[in-house]
Amino acid sequence: MPTDMQSCLIFHYNLKFYDSDEDSYDGVSLKRFVMQSVIGNIVAFRVHAPCSGAFLLDIFANAVTPQEYLTGEPMKFKSVCKFKICCEELQTVMVPLPDCASGEWGPTKATRLFGLIPITHQDPLIFAGR
């Protein structure tokens, strides 16, 4: 994303099966198989397919100030790109991410909105030894 827009661009996503409007797998929302994060000027969407097949990832964006974001008022997002994801086979069984508010993982949102600075982990993924 452009450096001058890092403080105001927010993103959202939707994941569904490609050939239908079905957006759940075994009763679980497909949104729980996507991890969205922002590191620097990179917005990443990690899709962990729950099964083989074709999926449609629709990415939305909006430019808002932190003050507008914090009002809690509904915001309109514009679809900015779509990807067809083809998963021919699974190498491992994927479990859904925790059932919490969908959206951005990691510390970047807290930095952008509240000025919080992560001391040790900039990335949304923390790898721990055994």
- Global pTM value: 0.83
- Which DSSP symbol is given to 40? T
pLDDT computed for residue 100 by the predictor: 76
The sheet carrying 104-105 orders its strands as: 42-47, 34-39, 104-105
| Pairing verdict, β 34-39 and 104-105 | parallel
Q: Answer yes or no: are the C-beta atoms of 92 and 33 closer than 8 Å.
A: no
Q: What are the helix (H) ranges across 49-107?
A: 66-70
pLDDT at residue 19 tops 90: yes
Measured distance CA(121)–CA(101) in Å, rounded: 21
Cβ–Cβ < 8 Å for 39, 47: no
Over residues 69-127, the pLDDT tens digits come to 778 788 889 999 999 999 999 998 889 998 876 678 888 888 887 888 989 888 888 88
Confidence (pLDDT) at 17: 98
Judged against a pLDDT cut of 80, whether residue 66 lies above it is answered with no
What's the pLDDT tens digit per position in 31-48? 999 999 988 889 999 999
pLDDT at res. 46: 94
